[in-house]
Amino acid sequence: MEYEKAASILKTGGIGVLATDTLYGVVGQALNQATVERIYSVKERTPTKPFIILISDPADVELFGINLTREEERILEQYWPGPVSVILDCFGPKFEYLHRDTHSLAFRLPAKPELTSLIARTGPLVAPSANPEGLTPAPSIDAARAYFGDTVDFYIGGPVGDKPSKIIKITSGGVEILRA
């Protein structure tokens, strides 16, 4: 039932901390600008650094005005679902609050079924690591609570890995690894 309650909170613009398939993340609806700005504030994040966006299906990137080529789809099939974030170009002013003038967004399709099910109910979620900028990502739900207290609307614990996702960018020459 935790995920049902979280979905309800997220759909109304709330934010929370939950276990992703990599680390604990501070999550909120990516298509809600006020929610995204709230997460920047709670995390004390540099405003020019974009967040990774969790999706429930590769087609979700279309919600951000991104049309995948056949080659991009083929490459994504090799990496998703899993702990790999893929940077895709995103132009236009509509999503500037997400791409922060980088004109690109990083997407990840998690391999955790309960998480992708949640995202399918709420829409794509921004999911930066659960820590104020400059501090170590929370290794446990208790550490996340110590960082954020009641500045977030819910906490959902669970097993997580000990490192962030790999980050790649699809280029004309194939794949460039930006973070191993």
Domains of the chain (ranges, CATH numbers): 2-179 (3.90.870.10)
Mean pLDDT for the chain?
A: 94
Diameter of the chain measured on Cα atoms: 46
SS3 42: helix
Q: How far apart are CA 65 and CA 94, in angstroms?
A: 9
Q: How far apart are CA 176 and CA 68, in angstroms?
A: 17
Share of the chain above pLDDT 70, in %: 99
Residue length of the chain: 180
SS3 110: coil
Give the other-Cβ count within 10 Å of 178's Cβ.
12
pLDDT digits (tens, 9 = 90+) for 106-128: 999 999 999 999 999 999 999 99
The answer on pLDDT for 1 being more than 70 is: no
pLDDT digits (tens, 9 = 90+) for 9-55: 999 999 999 999 999 999 999 999 999 999 999 999 999 999 999 99
Average pLDDT over residues 126-147: 96
The answer on pLDDT for 173 being more than 80 is: no
SS3 59: helix
